[in-house]
Chains A and B, each alone.
Chain A
Amino acid sequence: MTIRTRPTVLVFLDSPQRTVETVRPAVLELITLGRTLGRVDVVTLGAPTVEVLATLGAYGVHLVHQAQVPTSLPESSYRLTSVLASVLATAVRRNDADVLLVPSSFAGKEAAAVAAARLGSGLVVDASSLAWTGEPGAGDPAPLRLGKRVFAGTWTTVSTVASDPAVVTVRANTVVAEPAAVATEAVVEPLPVEVEAPRVTVVERTLKERAAGRPQLEEAAIVVAGGRGTNGDFGPVDDLADALGAAVGATRDAVFEGWFDRYIGQTGVTVAPRLYIGAGISGAPHHRGGMQASQVIVSVNNDPEAPIVEQSDFAVVGDLADVLPQAAAAIREHKAARA
C-alpha cells in the first residue's frame, strides 16, 4: 500500500495591485476550505505586505510562492489569461500540489482553465463543495468530489476529478472564512516563471471606482438588488443596503436603463450571499441563475404573482418605495438599541 503524504492545496491569492495589500474575503474562504483538504500554500504575483503575511499565517498558510516573471514582460500584461495561467501552472508543478483553488470570476475561470489545459488536469468551475472521496492519506490519489449547483440552482450535481492535480474554481460565500486553530508562519519563496510573450496587448486598464464603504458585490454577505420596479430611483435600495451594510446589485434591465452599473445573473455577477433582498425584480430565469444559491431570499414586489415571490423565503407584497425605507429605519433602530 502506498502511504500518501498529506495532500497539498494551492490557493491563488489575486490582487489588483503590484503589492498584495489585502487578502480578499473570497481568498480567505478558499484557504479555510483548503485546510479541510490538506496543507495550504498560496501563489501570488505581487509582494505581500507584513500585514498580509500575518493574516496568511493566522489562516494557517505555509508557503507564499511569489511569482517572478521575466522583466521584459510589461506590467500591464500581468493579468492576461495566458500570463496568469503560466504562473498558476508553474506554481502547481513546483509545489507538487494536488489541488489548485481559484476564486470564481470570469478572469479566474479562464486562468484556471488554461492552467488546467497545460497541466493536463480536470477542471470544475463554480464548485460549491469539495471533499476527498476517501480518507485523506489512505489511498493514492483519492479523487476529489465536487458539488455544484446548476440550472439556476434547481439541480445539484456531484463530479469527481480523477486527475492529480485537480483544478477548481470556487464561488464566494461557499464557506465562512475562519482562522486556523494553530497559526503558522507564512514564508515567502520566489517562484521563477517562464512566460511566452503574450499575443495580446493591454492598451488600457483602469480600475473601477468602488462605492466607498460598501462590500464588493461578488463577496458580500448581504446583497440588496433593485430592478425595473425601482423606476430608476435606487434611493430606497441604497438606503436599505446602508442600514444592513450590504452590497447593491441590479437586474440587467435596470443596468441597461442606466440606473446602476452591475447586474446579477447568468451573464452578470453570480452572488451567493447569506441574505439576498430583491426589490422591484420579477425573478426571470436569467436573473435567478445568478442569485438562487443565496441562503435566504427576500423579495419586495407589488405583484403577488411575480415569479420571485414563489422563489423567496419571505416576501412583502407592496410598493418598494414604502417598504424599503420603513425596513431600513426599523433596522437602524434595532442596531442602535443593540449598540
Chain B
Amino acid sequence: MPNIVAYVVRQRDHLAQRAAHQRVVSVLVRIVVLLKYVPDISSDRRFEEGRVVRDPAAGSLNELDEHAVEAALRIVESQPGGDHEVVAVTLAPATADIALRKAYQMGVHRGVRVTDDALAGSDYFGTAAALAAAVRRLDAENGAVRPVDLVITGMAALDGLGSVVPALVAEELGWAQLTLAKSVALDGDARGATLTITREVDDAHETLAAPLPAVLSVTDTANSPRYPNFKLIMAARSKAIEEWSAADLGLDPATVGLAGARTVTVEAAPSPARPEVQVVVDKGEGGKALAEFLIRNDLV
C-alpha cells in the first residue's frame, strides 16, 4: 500500500468540489463503530426464559469490539486535521453504558445507545435493521454535511457468535462489505477513498478493495487495542451518552424485536455434564494408557 497521504472523504460532491476548489485536503472522517455489550466469558453465563441474563455486574464491552474501536481511532489519527469523529453505537439496555464508557476511555468521541422495549428479543435481522437505521440517522445529521464514511465492527460478539451482523448491516445500507480484515489500509484522493483489506477466509488469503462508504469488520489480529489513558478515563466518567428509541430511528415496531423475529428461542437448558474425567498420572506409561483408552473406545 502506498502511504496514506491525502485521504479525502469519499466523493460526496460538495466535499470533493470544495477540496478541489480550495486546493486543500479535506480531512473530515466520520466513522461509526458498532459495539456489543456481552456477559463476561468467564462469568456464569445463563439463560432465563429463553433470554440471555444480562447481569450488570458481569457484563462488558465485547472484547473483540475493542479491535474495531482501535481500527477507527488509528484511521482518524492517520489523517491530518483534528475534526474527525468516531461515534460508538450499541443496541442494548441501559446497563450497556459500561461498554460505551470503555469506548470513551479509549478515545471515542460520541456514544449512542439505542434502547427500546420494542427492540428486545431482536434476531439478526432486527438487530441489523436497528443498527443500520442508527447509521443512517448519523449519516443524515445536520443536512448530511458530514456523512458517515465507514462503519467498523468486531468479527463476532462473544455471546451470540453469529459473525453475521456486519454483512447484514452492509446489506441494509447498500454499502460495500469488507469483513474479517486482518489488515486495513485506506487511501485516496479528491475523487474518493478506497479501503483495502487482507483477510484469511476458508482456506484462502484474500486482498479485497472497495470504495467508501463501507462496512468493515476486523479480527483480533488486525491490531492491539490501546490501554485507556488517565485523562480519558476521568473524562469518560461524566461524558454524556445519547439514547435513541425505535421511533427516533423510524423503525416499524412490527419488524423488529420479538414481534419481528423470524427465529425464536423456545428452550434453553444447561448441557448435560460430562462424565467424570479419568485421570492418569504419567509414570512412564502415560502414552500407552492414552492409546489404550482410545482403542477401548473404538477411536482408533
- What is A's interface to B at a CB cutoff of 8 Å? 16, 79, 81-82, 85, 105-110, 112-114, 116-118, 120-126, 145-146, 149-163, 199-208, 210, 216, 222, 244, 252, 266-267, 274-275, 285-286, 289, 296-298, 300, 304, 309-319, 322-331, 334-335
Q: How far is the CA of A105 from the CA of B179 in the complex (A)?
A: 13
B287 touching A298 by the CB < 8 A rule?
Answer: no
Given contacts A105-B202, A162-B262, A317-B281, contact A329 B275 (CB under 8 A): no
Contact of A313 among B42, B179, B277 (CB under 8 A): B277
Would you call B177 and A122 a contact (CB within 8 A)?
Answer: no
A304 to B286, CA, bound (A): 14
Please, how many residues of chain B have a CB less than 8 angstroms from a CB on the other chain?
79
Whether the pair B47, A107 counts as a contact (CB closer than 8 A) is no
Interchain CB contact under 8 A, A109 and B163: yes
| A267 and B64 contact, CB distance less than 8 A | yes
Contacts of B267 in A (CB 8 A): 157-158
Partner of A203, one of B45, B64, B208, B220: B208
Residues in B whose Cβ lies below 8 Å from that of A315: 277-280
Among B45, B289, B293, B297, the residue within 8 A (CB) of A151 is B45
A124 touches B168 (CB 8 A): no
A105-B202, A149-B271 known; A160-B266 Cβ under 8 A: yes
Asked if B282 and A125 make an inter-chain contact with CB atoms under 8 angstroms apart, the answer reads: no
Q: Are A323 and B287 in contact (CB under 8 A)?
A: yes
Check B196 against A203 for contact (C-beta < 8 Å). Answer: yes
Given contacts A204-B206, A267-B155, A314-B293, contact A326 B287 (CB under 8 A): yes
* In contact, B208 and A200 (Cβ under 8 angstroms): yes
Q: Which residues of B contact A159 (CB under 8 A)?
A: 263-266
Contact between A330 and B288, CB atoms less than 8 A apart:
yes
Q: Residue on B with the closest CB to A81?
A: B167
A178 to B63, CA, bound (A): 40
Do the beta carbons of A199 and B210 come within 8 Å of each other? yes
In the complex, which residue of chain B has the Cβ closest to the Cβ of A262?
B200
Instruction: Check: B57 CB closer than 8 A to any chain A CB.
Output: no
CA A16 to CA B159, docked complex, whole Å: 31
Q: What residues of chain A lie closer than 8 Å to B202, measured between beta carbons?
A: 105-108
**Which residues on the B side are within 8 Å of A163 (C-beta)?**
262
Residues 242-296 (chain B) with a chain A CB within 8 angstroms: 261-271, 274-275, 277-282, 284-295
Known: A113-B168, A151-B159, A313-B274. A331 touches B268 (CB 8 A): no
Residue of B nearest to A308 (CB): B277
CB-based contact A153/B271 at 8 Å: yes
Closest B residue, CB atoms, query A290: B161
Name the contact of A324 in the complex, choosing from B125, B214, B287 (C-beta under 8 A): B287
CA distance A106 to B202 in the complex (A): 7
A116 / chain B contacts, CB cutoff of 8 Å: 125
Question: Min CB distance, B219 to chain A, in Å?
Answer: 7
User: B-side binding surface: helix, strand, loop or mixed?
Assistant: mixed
What's the A-B contact tally at a CB cutoff of 8 Å?
Answer: 249
* A266 and B158 form a contact (CB under 8 A): yes
The answer on a CB contact under 8 Å between B206 and A202 is yes
Residues A310 and B277 in contact, CB atoms below 8 Å apart: yes
Q: How far is the CA of A319 from the CA of B202 in the complex (A)?
A: 33
User: Which one of A112, A200, A244 lies within 8 Å of B178 (CB-CB)?
Assistant: A200
14 more A-B residue pairs beyond the given contacts A208-B200, A244-B294, with a C-beta to C-beta distance below 8 A? A109-B162, A110-B179, A117-B171, A151-B45, A155-B45, A161-B263, A208-B205, A244-B300, A267-B64, A285-B42, A316-B287, A326-B288, A326-B290, A327-B294
Residue of A nearest to B219 (CB): A267
Give B297 Cβ to nearest chain A Cβ, in Å: 7
Chain B residues with CB below 8 A from A203, complex form: 196, 207-209
Q: Smallest Cβ distance from A132 to chain B, in angstroms?
A: 14
Q: Do B262 and A122 touch across chains, with their CB atoms under 8 A apart?
A: yes
Between-chain CB contacts (< 8 Å), 16 pairs: A16-B203, A106-B179, A110-B177, A117-B128, A122-B123, A155-B47, A161-B263, A162-B263, A201-B210, A202-B206, A204-B205, A205-B207, A207-B203, A216-B203, A266-B158, A313-B278
Encode B161-199 as 1/0 by CB contact (under 8 A) with A.
111100110011001111110000000000000001000
Q: Which residue of B lies closest to A149 (CB)?
A: B271
Question: Contact: A335 with B278, CB < 8 Å?
Answer: no
Contact residues in B for A318 (Cβ distance below 8 Å): 281-282, 286
B164 adjacent to A123 (CB under 8 Å)? yes
Q: Does B240 contact A (CB under 8 A)?
A: no
Q: Which residue of B lies closest to A158 (CB)?
A: B267
B299:A275 contact, CB within 8 angstroms: yes
How far, in angstroms, from A325 to B287 measured CA to CA in the complex?
A: 7
Q: Are the CB atoms of A327 and B288 closer together than 8 Å?
A: yes
Give, as a whole number of angstroms, the nearest-CB distance from B58 to chain A: 13
